[in-house]
Structure 1
Amino acid sequence: MQVKLSTALAIPFLLAGTGAAAKCLSNDTTTPAGTLPSSSTSQASNSSSAVVVDLTYALHAPQITSSPDDRVYYNFSNIRYAAPPVTPSLRFRAPADPVYNRSAGVQDGTYGKICPQAYTPWQNAALVTAAPGEHESEDCLFLDVVVPQSLWDSRRNTSKPVIVWIHGGGYQIGAKYGTPDSNPLGLLDRSFVDGGDGVIWVGLNYRLGAFGWLQGSSFTSQGGLANAGLYDQRKALDWVQKYIHLFGGDPNRVTVMGESAGAGAIMHHITAYGGDEGEGEAPLPFQQAIVQSPGYVPRPYASQAESSYAVLLDRANATSLAELAALDTLALQTANKLAQTADFYGAFQFGVAPDGGYVPDLPEKLLARGAYHRDIKVMVAHNTYEGQRYTDPAATNSSAFDEYMALYFPDASAEFLAELSSDVYPAVYNDSSSSDSNSSTQADWTTPFERLRTAVSEFTFTCHAYFLGDALGPAAGRDSYSYLFSVPPGTHTLDVYYSYFVNSSSSVTNETVALYMQEYFASFVETGDPNRGSLLPIFPAYGANFTDLNLNQTFVNVIQDPAANARCDWWRATSYS
């Protein structure tokens, strides 16, 4: 099958490289799950008792922190947006309203937990059986609000745009704030350049693993809520709509921003209940989205949800949801961890999947038939080699492709798998030494590993970005925007370090790229157009030609989106049968 070729359309802008060697912390599994770094920079972390926000149900004072640009920020940390989902009546259920707690006095954000984490053996086998970290707890439904002091001081006279960050982590790990890849101060500093007036940042936790991502009739018939993690996110977004004005934010200018699982979740919100025409669906609690490497493995078969639930019951030595919900937290967290041992290389046991309600179908199917919220403006993105870390290094022969596709799509017919292997991703390898570079026999891979990596990249990440950019761009008659992050090595999550670049000690190889990205984001959040910065290369609209801004180590140029190809079109059309 032929791929639409990427063609340079502009003279590259040369960039100066600086910074340390890139490192993907999201893939650094040497730190025990639950370790929670400080949520402030080294410049300041004092609490301010003079600044208090009254949420009616609780009072909160911020930690004071300053950025490398010497701008002062208030971090209202660890605000409850929902009740602790720790009792049998709240586990595996929709998030409930936070408990009235004014009697606790003014809270300074020092108490806060991250949701229980679970690593797979292919990530770090030692962490599969490690005890939960001291900061891990089922009582984890907290969010942070980071406000520039200047915006707080003027909050009664004006309201500013808001970024809501939904973290990634394969739906199994991650947290709202505190790690180097989610410190917003650099991004917030950029919102004041080129005439910007500043923005407010919100980061949220949501239930992970089995606590938030179970589905299936066996589970729901016993009272479980499918995809509870999506409801947590929606609860937090609704909280923003209700309370962000108290911090100086504008609830009508909210941009959700997410990477990997966080971005995949955003796609599911945009297609929730089938979109604008969905039964019972209300307008979305956001107006724009920055969707970076939207990640989810398509799970189209009911048997997959049933299998994951059965694995959890087995690891917990339970026979019903009632028994699961009654377990002590250590037993349930241990079962969540051990369930990860039942999956294959590159896969996670739990994740988002169709449930017949909030998620009526796979997002690509809903987008293809127009069943989505059309009034959302988007910027999408993907990296060069998204599937690198999710591809088995032992996949060194052509048969590995067939073996893994059968694992990813267990109920697929022989015809589906044969078409996938023979027509969509044929075992034809590009001979880089060949002079016939235009031959119809040339492929986008040179080895069996690259062939499998390409497939995993596309059906897990890159095709999703193409589908969403198209549906909310050309197909909707409006502008969307898309970038390709090709800074070497171009692997999954690397661009998040550039998105949240703070200072020269950050793990980026080119600070100029990071500053460009942050200014594009800030401009998009504030104006709906990334092109406010007069000194930056023009960021073109995606358009009918599927145009990407290509961010490289040494240049920025304009290309055709490599994900806008016939293989992704095949994934959008397939029935998985």
Structure 2
Amino acid sequence: MRGFLSLTPVTLLLQLSLAVDPLVCLDYATYQGTCQDDGVTSWLGLRYAAPPLGKLRFAAPQPPLPEDGTVIANAHGPACLSTGKTPPSATMNEDCLVMDIFAPSSASSLEGLPVYFFIQGGGFNSNSNTNYDGTGLIKASGMNIVVVTFNYRVGPYGFLASKEILQGGSVNNGLKDQRAALQWVQEYIHHFGGDPRQVTMGGDSAGAQSVTLHLTAYGGRDDGLFARSAAESQSFSSLRSVPESQFMYDNLIQRAGCSQCNDTLSCLRNLTATQLQAVNIQTPFPGAVRSPLYMYGPTLDYDFISDYTYRAYAQGKFIKLPTIYGDDTNEGTIFAPGSTNSLAQSEQFIRDQFPDITDAQLQTWSELYPLDETEIYPGKGRYWRQVAKGYGEMRYNCPGIFISNTYAALSVPNSYSYHWNVIDPPSQASGLGVSHTIEINAIWGSAEGTHGGPDSYKPGGVNAAIVPITQAYWTSFIRCGDPNTYRLPGSPRWDEWCGPLGARMMFQTNNTHMEQVPPDQWGRCQYMSSIGLDLKQ
């Protein structure tokens, strides 16, 4: 390609005119972005849907409203309200359906770049990865991608389900917010230098579960919203139907003082966000003793979600596109109660999360995950690591292995899997080990893009070398659907998964290599998958 100095003035002017202008005029708003000194332009706090307030509370997302004048898009919008009595604030509010966009300042509005569309996690009860900065990923790609992040409704605002909600509103609104954001990208991302035909839908934890639910949405219908996907620590929570979710609504209207109203839904909508947040808590599932980690979540509505996730994949009812799935060695350590000191407490925790598990299944689960007396850590109960391993595999590791194996069985090309085993010394000493979604710090870059992360991942840290390797794989996949094409020179080739024990990339500083799933983990996961439908996963 010729340099600017070799171009004629007319041609140079034409070339420059093709670059994306920070001032972007859409059909409902004009947004002024910010050109950063590092060659990246950002647009922050863009509305992709109407404020979900008043009658739109508990309703499906609606198109964004017109905005007057030029909006200076240089500030993040608020995160969506989380479950846990947290009152609204300047950084967390019900009016939260906004997105951030990062693009190379040199991006062309005519020849769009591949887009990384990231769905944050939070167990569908919070927005846990808000305001990530896409600059590091864009630099790692050689200025060859566009990055989109956004907020979506969670807790009762996004996932309350009941006959009243079904009649007067909509269920699975958090997922529908995500869908609306994907549709927004299809319509508008070319204004920011992105190619709507090359969208990689990524996500971590609940965001990764969202990836699986969009792939299986409407029975696996392909609406052309994305071309590939990348899921980190994909989660298989229990999916409850609307009747099975009625208890959440009934408990909420009781706490909110709406139970005696003729129209309980209108009563809930008339509450201020502060009033609703005061009663926004977790309660036990029917048949459980204690509240689960996450009560609100995706609903089996037989429309958007047409079946349990295990069965949808087993029956091939998913969009077959290039994909990455993967997990961390110690997925359950941040979730398991540190005070777990007996097998009875361990089993009760599992039953609180999955109350449909039978006594016989729970006994088998306990036998598959025996106590290891060598895994005792200061301040932690004897059974903490035991329940952490069992919970981590049944909710995260085993579903990931199952999906990857399903892709291989159906000969879906460009299907990749990974095992994240990068050892952070302080985490290892504390017993947390290689914990849930910790790889996000390497994918986005610990120096910029995430909030904190292990010091060992930062420049000068013992795991700093894993960051450019990981970013090269991910940005290569985002650019072309193959993590190998633009991988870092000298890094190993990432082979596709092939069964039945698979072939996955094991990430470890100075020891990244392909591995097979260990036979003992494979055996445990076969059992976890066999009872997945009983657990409504």
Mapped to 2, the partners of 1:424 and 1:287 lie a distance apart of 41
**Is 1:573 matched with 2:534?**
no
Mapped to 1, the partners of 2:198 and 2:112 lie a distance apart of 9
Indicate the residue corresponding to 2:105 in structure 1. 149
After TM superposition, list the pairs within 5 Å mapping 1:163-182 onto structure 2. Answer: 163-174=116-127, 177-178=130-131, 182=132
- The match for 1:59 among 21, 27, 30 is 30
Q: Deviations over 1:447-468 (max 9, x none)?
A: 6333322221122211222222
Q: Deviations over 1:489-532 (max 9, x none)?
A: 20012111111115398634111111111000011111211112
**Post-superposition shift, 1:50?**
6.8
Indicate the residue corresponding to 1:324 in structure 2. 268
| CA spacing shift, 1:429–1:411, aligned 2, 3 Å | closer
Indicate the residue corresponding to 2:363 in structure 1. 421
After TM superposition, list the pairs within 5 Å mapping 1:462-477 onto structure 2. Answer: 462-477=397-412
Indicate the residue corresponding to 1:7 in structure 2. none
**Is 1:498 matched with 2:442?**
yes
Amino acid at match of 1:207: R
After TM superposition, list the pairs within 5 Å mapping 1:387-466 onto structure 2. Answer: 387-412=332-357, 416-422=358-364, 425-426=367-368, 428-429=370-371, 448-466=383-401
Indicate the residue corresponding to 1:189 in structure 2. 139
Report the secondary structure of 1:481's partner residue.
Answer: strand
Mapped to 2, the partners of 1:352 and 1:216 lie a distance apart of 13
Indicate the residue corresponding to 1:13 in structure 2. none
| CA spacing shift, 1:427–1:260, aligned 2, 3 Å | closer
Structure 1 length as normaliser, TM-score? 0.77
**Post-superposition shift, 1:431?**
7.0
Indicate the residue corresponding to 2:92 in structure 1. 136
Indicate the residue corresponding to 1:124 in structure 2. none
Give the conservation status (yes or no) of the 8 Å contact 2:283–2:292. Answer: no
Indicate the residue corresponding to 1:104 in structure 2. 69
Indicate the residue corresponding to 1:360 in structure 2. 306
| CA spacing shift, 1:50–1:548, aligned 2, 3 Å | closer
**Post-superposition shift, 1:299?**
3.5
Give the conservation status (yes or no) of the 8 Å contact 2:121–2:203. Answer: yes
Indicate the residue corresponding to 1:513 in structure 2. 466
Amino acid at match of 2:206: A
Give the conservation status (yes or no) of the 8 Å contact 2:347–2:366. Answer: no
**Post-superposition shift, 1:217?**
3.5
Indicate the residue corresponding to 1:79 in structure 2. 46
**Is 1:538 matched with 2:496?**
no
Mapped to 1, the partners of 2:54 and 2:104 lie a distance apart of 37
Report the secondary structure of 2:293's partner residue.
Answer: coil
**Post-superposition shift, 1:199?**
0.2
- The match for 2:78 among 113, 134, 149 is 113
* Structure 2: runs of 5+ lacking an equivalent: 1-19, 376-380, 424-432, 457-462
Give the conservation status (yes or no) of the 8 Å contact 1:520–1:530. Answer: yes
Indicate the residue corresponding to 1:287 in structure 2. 227
Mapped to 1, the partners of 2:46 and 2:374 lie a distance apart of 55
| CA spacing shift, 1:110–1:187, aligned 2, 3 Å | closer
Give the conservation status (yes or no) of the 8 Å contact 1:405–1:417. Answer: no
Report the secondary structure of 2:62's partner residue.
Answer: coil
| CA spacing shift, 1:421–1:481, aligned 2, 3 Å | same
Mapped to 2, the partners of 1:106 and 1:399 lie a distance apart of 57
Mapped to 2, the partners of 1:499 and 1:369 lie a distance apart of 32
**Post-superposition shift, 1:558?**
1.9
**Is 1:247 matched with 2:192?**
yes
Amino acid at match of 2:113: K
Mapped to 1, the partners of 2:383 and 2:241 lie a distance apart of 27
Indicate the residue corresponding to 1:298 in structure 2. 238
| CA spacing shift, 1:328–1:302, aligned 2, 3 Å | closer
**Post-superposition shift, 1:476?**
3.5
| CA spacing shift, 1:215–1:476, aligned 2, 3 Å | farther
| CA spacing shift, 1:422–1:559, aligned 2, 3 Å | same
* Structure 1: runs of 5+ lacking an equivalent: 1-48, 120-127, 277-281, 434-445
**Is 1:522 matched with 2:488?**
no
Indicate the residue corresponding to 2:505 in structure 1. 549
**Post-superposition shift, 1:424?**
6.8
Mapped to 1, the partners of 2:385 and 2:454 lie a distance apart of 26
Indicate the residue corresponding to 2:161 in structure 1. 215
Amino acid at match of 1:493: T
Report the secondary structure of 2:92's partner residue.
Answer: coil
**Post-superposition shift, 1:54?**
1.0
Q: Deviations over 1:142-199 (max 9, x none)?
A: 1111111111xx323x221000011111112226643xxx22211111101xxxx610
Indicate the residue corresponding to 2:173 in structure 1. 228
Mapped to 1, the partners of 2:412 and 2:513 lie a distance apart of 25
Mapped to 1, the partners of 2:417 and 2:504 lie a distance apart of 5
Q: Deviations over 1:473-498 (max 9, x none)?
A: 44234231111111232001211111
CA-atom RMSD in angstroms: 2.7
Report the secondary structure of 1:570's partner residue.
Answer: helix
Mapped to 2, the partners of 1:370 and 1:474 lie a distance apart of 10
Mapped to 1, the partners of 2:271 and 2:361 lie a distance apart of 45
Indicate the residue corresponding to 2:17 in structure 1. none
The aligned length equals: 481
**Post-superposition shift, 1:136?**
1.6
Amino acid at match of 1:297: S
Indicate the residue corresponding to 2:426 in structure 1. none
Give the conservation status (yes or no) of the 8 Å contact 1:215–1:353. Answer: yes
Percent identity, aligned pairs only, is 27
Give the conservation status (yes or no) of the 8 Å contact 1:217–1:306. Answer: yes
| CA spacing shift, 1:300–1:341, aligned 2, 3 Å | closer
Mapped to 2, the partners of 1:166 and 1:185 lie a distance apart of 17
**Post-superposition shift, 1:207?**
0.4
Give the conservation status (yes or no) of the 8 Å contact 1:60–1:109. Answer: no
Mapped to 2, the partners of 1:490 and 1:502 lie a distance apart of 16
Mapped to 1, the partners of 2:367 and 2:247 lie a distance apart of 28
Give the conservation status (yes or no) of the 8 Å contact 1:118–1:173. Answer: yes
Mapped to 2, the partners of 1:573 and 1:271 lie a distance apart of 20
Structure 2 length as normaliser, TM-score? 0.83
Mapped to 2, the partners of 1:209 and 1:305 lie a distance apart of 13
After superposing the two structures, state which structure 1 stretch, 53-62 or 110-119, moved more.
110-119
Report the secondary structure of 1:211's partner residue.
Answer: helix
